[in-house]
Amino acid sequence: MAELWRLGASELAASIRAKRVSVREVVEAHLRRIEAANPRINAVTVVLAERALAEARVADEAIGRGDDLGPLHGVPMTVKENIDLAGSPTTMGVTALAGDVPPIDAPHIAQLRAAGAIVIGRTNTPEFAMRWHTDNDLRGPTRNPWDAGRTPGGSSGGDAAALAVGLMPLGMGNDYAGSIRWPSQCCGTTGLRPSFGRVPRARTLPGAPNPPITMQLFAVHGPMARHVRDLRLALENMSGYDPRDPWCVAAPLRGAEPPRPIRVALTVDPAGLGVEDSVADGVRRAARALADEGYAIEEVEPPQISRAAQLYYQLLLTSAGPPREPGIVSAGMARFGRLNAEAFAQHTTDASDDAFAERFGIARAWSEFQARYPLVLGPVATTPAFAVGSDLLNAEWSLQWLRAIRLIVTVNLLGLPSVAVPIGVAEGLPQGIQIIASRFREDLCLDAAEAMERRVGTITPIEAKS
C-alpha cells in the first residue's frame, strides 16, 4: 500500500472498513505529514491532534465491536476557519474574532462527522473569506506549493494547498465568488461548488448576524479533494436537510438520465473578452478528453455571460462588498476592499434598474440553453495563478481580474453546480477547468469530471516547491 497520506478519501475509507489499516494509523500518518510539510505552505492553521486521536480511538473501538460504520468512518478532513466547528474558533482570519468559539458544528460538518469523518485541523482563509489570495494578519499567508511566488487562490486557499501536498484527503471550503474553484485551479486539486440550496448553511455562534442577501443566494459550502470520486462521497454525506437553513432543499442526488451522447457546450473564451493561451489549451484538452469518453462537444457560447458578471458585481457592490474598515481588517485587506469597490463600480457603469429582475431573465435563458446542452465546459479563471501581491496593485488590475472570473461569478449568480478539475501543468503551474450543470445536477458534473479524470489522471500530491 502507498503511504497513507497519498491516498484519497474513498480509498482510505475502504481500507479502514476492510481492516487493512486502523483509524489511528491513518490519523497519525496525516498528523506526521502536517508536521513535515505544513511549515513550508502554512495551509493548516490549527492542528487538532489530541482531539483527532481521541476520535480515532473511539472509531477503532467501533470497528472492533462490529458496529455499523459510516461511509467516511475514520477519514481525516479539515475545516476552513470561516465554518463553525464546535470548540474551535471561527476566526474568519480576523484577529478580533479569534475568541469566537461556536458551541455546535455547522449543519454540514455535523453530518460529515456523523458519517465518520474526523477533523484533524483548521485551514487558512483571507479575512472574512473575501479575497482571491489567502493571507491575513492573524495566521499569515498560505503559499502555493507549486510556486511560492504565486497565489494559492482564495478564499479556500488553505484547503487547496493542504490537499496538494497531502495533508489530508478531504477539505471543507465555500464558494461565494469562486472560492472553491479558483484555489483548486491554482493548486491542481478538484472542488465542487454545489447548487444553491443543496448543502445546508447556518452559523451556530449565538448572536451571529444574518448574512446579506447576496451571501444568502450566491454562497455555498462544498467539498475539496484530489479525486472526483471523493467529492461525490463527501457530497452524499453533507447534503441532508437541516431546518436551520430555510433555503435548504432535500433534492435527489441523481436525476433523470439525459439523452446520449450528452451534449457539452464548450466555451474557451467566455463572452470573447480574452483568455491566456495556457488556459485555452487546457480547456481544449479537456474537451478532447470528454469527447474520447463519448460526450458530444460543440463550441457554442452560453447566454449573457458578460451581463451576468456585471449584475453579480452590481449586487455585491450594493449588498456586501469587500470589507475595508480600518481597525477591523488589516491594511492589506482594507486596500483590497477599496480597490475592488472601485473596480466593481467601473464594471457596472451600465447598472440595472432592477438587478434581481434581470437576473431572472438570464437564469431563464441559461435554463433553456441547458435543456439543449446539459453541461458547459470552460475555464475557471481565464488566467493562471497570479503573482502574490497582484490583487493589491491598483484598480485597473482589479478590473481586469473581474473580467477574468466572469464565468466563475455567472455560476454564482445563477446558483448552478460546478466542478473544478485539474487538466495538467503549463509552465510549471497547474491548470484547471470547470464543468457546469443545471441546478441540482451535480451528478452530471461529477460523472463528466470523473470521465475526464480517467483520461488525464491527477497531478497531486506533490512536494512543496520554493
Tell me the pLDDT tens digit for each residue of 94-115: 999 999 999 999 999 999 999 9
**272-278: long-range contacts at Cβ-Cβ below 8 A with a sequence spacing of 24 or more?**
272/301, 273/306, 273/382, 273/403, 273/406, 274/382, 274/403, 275/379, 275/382, 276/382, 276/383, 276/384, 278/384, 278/426, 278/427, 278/429, 278/431
Is residue 295 domain-resident?
yes
Q: Give CA–CA dist 132/114, Å, rounded.
A: 32
Q: So what's the pLDDT on residue 348?
A: 82
Pick the closest to residue 445 from 248, 194, 252 (CA basis).
Answer: 194
Give me the residues paired with residue 174 across strands.
221
Q: How confident is the model at residue 319 (pLDDT cuts 50, 70, 90)?
A: confident
- The mean pLDDT value for 71-79 works out to 98
Instruction: Determine how many CB atoms are found less than 10 A away from the CB of residue 225.
Output: 28
Residue 10, pLDDT score: 98
Give the pLDDT score at 1.
67
SS (H, E, C) 149-199: CECCCCCCHHHHHHHHCCCCCEEEEEECCCCCHHHHHHHCCEEEECCCCCC
- CA 129, distance to chain mean position in Å, is 12
* Candidate list 15, 155, 184, 195, residue with the active-site label: 155
Overall number of domains in the chain: 1
pLDDT digits (tens, 9 = 90+) for 239-257: 999 999 999 999 999 999 9
Grid coordinates of 18: 476492510
Let me know if 155 is a catalytic residue. yes
Q: What does the block give as the cell for 154? A: 482564495
Given 10, 22, 80, 390, which residue is catalytic?
80
Lowest average pLDDT, out of 27-41, 257-271, 314-328, 359-373, goes to 314-328
**Is residue 323 predicted with pLDDT exceeding 80?**
no
**pLDDT given at position 58:** 98
Q: Domain of 318?
A: 4-456
Percent of the chain with pLDDT over 90: 93
On whether residue 176 sits in a domain, the answer given is: yes
CA-based nearest residue to 4, from 226, 184, 167? 167
Q: What is the CATH number of the domain that holds 237?
A: 3.90.1300.10
Residue 192 lies in a domain: yes
Helix, strand, coil in percent for the chain, rounding step 5: 40, 15, 45
Weakest-pLDDT range from 176-185, 333-342, 443-452: 333-342
Lowest mean pLDDT: which of 87-91, 178-182, 300-304, 321-325? 321-325
Phi (first) and psi of residue 77, to 5 degrees: -145, 165
CA-wise closest residue to 384 among 152, 227, 165, 161: 152
- Over residues 461-465, the mean pLDDT reads 96
pLDDT at 317: 87
* Residue 466 bears catalytic tag: no
Residue 54 has what pLDDT? 98
Rounded-to-integer distance, Cα 60 and Cα 16, Å: 9
> What is the grid cell recorded at 204?
451556530
Round the average pLDDT of the chain to a whole number and report it: 96
* pLDDT tens sequence across 271-293: 999 999 999 999 999 999 999 99
Is residue 401 a part of any domain in this protein? yes
| Pairing state between β 170-175 and 76-80 | parallel
Q: Please give the sequence-ordered ranges of beta strands (E in DSSP) within 188-334, or none if there are none.
A: 190-193, 220-225, 263-266, 296-299
Assess whether 465 carries a catalytic annotation.
no
Confirm whether 148 is domain-assigned: yes
Residue 451 falls inside a structural domain = yes
Q: Which of 179, 239, 390, 418 is catalytic?
A: 179
Averaged over 325-338, what is the pLDDT? 86
Provide the 8-state DSSP code for 280.
Answer: H
462 occurs within a structural domain: no
pLDDT of the residue at 318 = 84
**Residue 94 contacts residue 128 (beta carbons within 8 Å):** yes
Q: Is the pLDDT of residue 152 over 80?
A: yes
The pLDDT, as a whole number, for residue 466 is: 73
Residue corresponding to grid cell 511549515? 39
Q: What is the mean pLDDT of residues 138-165?
A: 98
The pLDDT, as a whole number, for residue 300 is: 98
Q: How far is CA 207 from CA 100, 215, 423, in A?
A: 11, 18, 43
Bridging pattern class, strands 429-437 and 118-123? unpaired
Handedness of CA 87, 89, 90, 96 (dihedral sign): positive
The pLDDT of residue 325 is 65
Q: What percent of the chain has pLDDT over 70?
A: 98
pLDDT at 326: 67
Mean pLDDT of 414-430: 98
119 within domain boundaries? yes
